[in-house]
A and B are shown apart, each in its own frame.
Chain A
Amino acid sequence: MRSLIRYLIKNYAFLLFLLLEIVSFILLFNFGRYQKVQYFNSANRITASVYRGFNSVVNYFELTKINRELADENALLKSQIQLKKNSEVASLSNVSRFFVGDTTYKYIPVRVINNSVNKVFNYITLDKGWKQGIKPDQGIVSPNGIVGVVISVSNSYSLGLSVLNQRWSVSVKLKKNGYFGSLSWRGNDYRIANLMEIPFHVELAHGDTVVTSGYSSIFPEGILVGTIQSFSKPQGENYYNIQVRLSTDFKALSFVDVIENMNKKEIKKLENVNQDGTTNN
Chain B
Amino acid sequence: MGQQIIKYFVMFVTLILIQVLVLNQVQFSGYVNPYLYILFILLLPLNTPRYSVLLLAFVLGLSIDIFSNSLGIHSAATVLIAFIRPFVIRSISNREEDRSDYPGLRQNGFRWFLYYTAIMVIVHHTFLFYVEVFTFVNFWTTLSRVLLSSLFSIFVIVLSQYLIFRE
Contacts and interface: CB of A to CB of B under 8 A. Distances in A.
A130 interface: no
B89 interface: no
Given A13-B51, A50-B17, A188-B141, A119 B58 contact: no
A27 interface: yes
B77 to A, nearest CB: 9
Contacts of B65: 27
Interface string B55-73: 1011001000111111111
A222 interface: no
A63 B132 CA distance: 35
Contacts of A28: 71-73, 76, 131
Contact of A117 (B30, B70, B73): B30
Given A12-B51, A118-B27, A251-B27, A21 B71 contact: no
Interface string A22-39: 011111110100100001
B30 A31 contact: no
A73 interface: no
Contacts, number: 103
Interface string B14-37: 000100110010010011110000
Given A28-B72, A119-B68, A251-B27, A16 B51 contact: yes
B76 A25 contact: yes
B162 to A, nearest CB: 26
Interface stretch (A41-49, A75-83, A256-264): A41-49
B67 A42 contact: yes
Nearest to A123: B69
A51 B83 CA distance: 31
Most chain A CB within 10 A, of B20, B69, B80, B138, is at B69
Contact of A41 (B55, B61, B69, B138): B69
Contacts of A117: 27, 30
Contacts of B17: 50
B66 A42 contact: yes
Nearest to A27: B72
A54 B21 contact: yes
A278 to B, nearest CB: 37
A70 to B, nearest CB: 23
Nearest to B16: A50
Contacts of A26: 72
A246 interface: no
Interface residues of B, number: 36
Given A13-B54, A24-B79, A31 B132 contact: no
B150 interface: no
A189 interface: yes
Contacts of A17: 54, 79-80, 82-83
A20 interface: yes
B153 interface: no
Contact of B68 (A34, A42, A187, A190): A42
Contacts of B54: 13, 16-17, 20
A116 B27 contact: yes
A149 interface: no
A159 interface: yes
B160 to A, nearest CB: 20
B133 interface: yes
Contact of B80 (A13, A16, A21, A40): A21
Given A12-B51, A13-B83, A188-B30, A116 B133 contact: no
A73 B82 CA distance: 51
Contacts of B75: 20, 23-24, 27
A20 B69 contact: no
Interface of B: 17, 20-21, 24, 27, 30-33, 50-51, 54-55, 57-58, 61, 65-73, 75-76, 79-80, 82-83, 131-133, 138, 141
7 A-B pairs with least C-beta separation: A28-B72, A27-B72, A24-B76, A13-B50, A123-B69, A17-B83, A24-B75
11 contacts: A13-B50, A16-B54, A21-B80, A25-B72, A29-B72, A42-B67, A54-B21, A118-B32, A118-B33, A120-B133, A187-B133
